[in-house]
Amino acid sequence: MAGPALEKKLLLISNSVCHGRPYLDHCADAIRQFLGGVTTIAFVPYAAKDWDGYARQVRSALAGFGLKVESVHETGAGPHTLPDHPAVFVGGGNTFRLLKTLQDRGLLDQIRRRVLDGMRYMGSSAGANLACPTIKTTNDMPIVQPADFHALGLVSFQINPHYIDADPNSTHMGETREKRIAEFHEENDLTVVGLREGSWIVVDQGRATLHGETGAKLFVPGKAPAEWDRQTGWPA
């Protein structure tokens, strides 16, 4: 009998928009496969400031997938509760704002429990950060202060979305992404997946697998950074 760990089904997307393509277009086939059979999906808009506008945008985009969207800020048993649907989509934006709002509304535990119980979790950018043990590998500015940095902990590793390789010709002296992740490892010992734009991770049956065209860089504490070999899955 499958325990909670095997029930978890996640689709974690680096970026919702690839340059020059419509919203979620680059991973449309993966979404269709992941959400097969789902007709209504809950949506978490809290990473943005304008929840109504964000819900409208996502409702319109996901209509193309045959999905009805209910945003948690306006539906469910009451505003800011999680409606009882078989899947949830957590959209991108600012990770600090997303986490703080979920903490303030008491929704973090609700989402975690439901995912462990089989609700499918789709997250892009900040929504991918949120699935990790902490938000400590976000790229976002700390524009608001969450109670703490702990997130859903639905996977065992950290994701750095929008991962970008260092430009060898750059004269900018701000830290490269790789240098920032090295700083993370000076203080933390979790593996970090540098998930390039155009890539996504599927978690199913207790395994994480890599998909998309652009790949991901794996930062394992104490080891040299290396490409994620997409032939091999990974315990999630």
Write out the catalytic residue numbers: 125, 140, 162
Give least dist CB 149 to a second copy, A: 5
Please identify which residue in 1, 3, 20, 168 interacts with a second copy, judged by CB under 8 A.
20
Nearest distance in Å: CB 192, a second copy: 10
178 binds a second copy (CB under 8 A): no
Does 23 interact with a second copy (rule: CB under 8 A)?
Answer: no
Token couple for 113 = 């429990």
Distance of CA 1 to the CA centre of its chain: 28
18 binds a second copy (CB under 8 A): yes
Q: Which is nearer to a second copy, 170 or 232 (CB)?
A: 170
Please state, as a whole number, how many other Cβ atoms lie within 10 Å of the Cβ of residue 26. Answer: 24
The distance of closest approach from Cβ of residue 107 to a second copy in the complex, given in angstroms and rounded to an integer, is: 19
Residue 71, SS3 per DSSP: strand
**Beta-carbon contacts of residue 198 (< 8 Å; ≥ 6 apart):** 14, 15, 18, 26, 212, 213, 214
- Say how many C-beta atoms besides its own lie within 10 A of residue 117's C-beta: 10
Amino acid (1-letter code) at residue 120: R
Binding region for a second copy (CB under 8 A) out of 70-78, 89-97, 112-120, 200-208: 89-97
**Closest separation between CB of residue 48 and a second copy, Å?**
9
Q: What is the dihedral of CA 146, 200, 85, 157, to 10 degrees?
A: -50
Question: Using the rule CB under 8 A, which residue among 117, 148, 213, 227 binds a second copy?
Answer: 148
The pair of three-digit structure tokens given for residue 166, joined into one six-digit string? 């260092």
Residue ranges in contact with a second copy by CB under 8 A: 15, 17-20, 49, 93-94, 96-97, 135-145, 148-149, 161-162, 164, 171-175, 180-181, 183-184, 186-188, 197
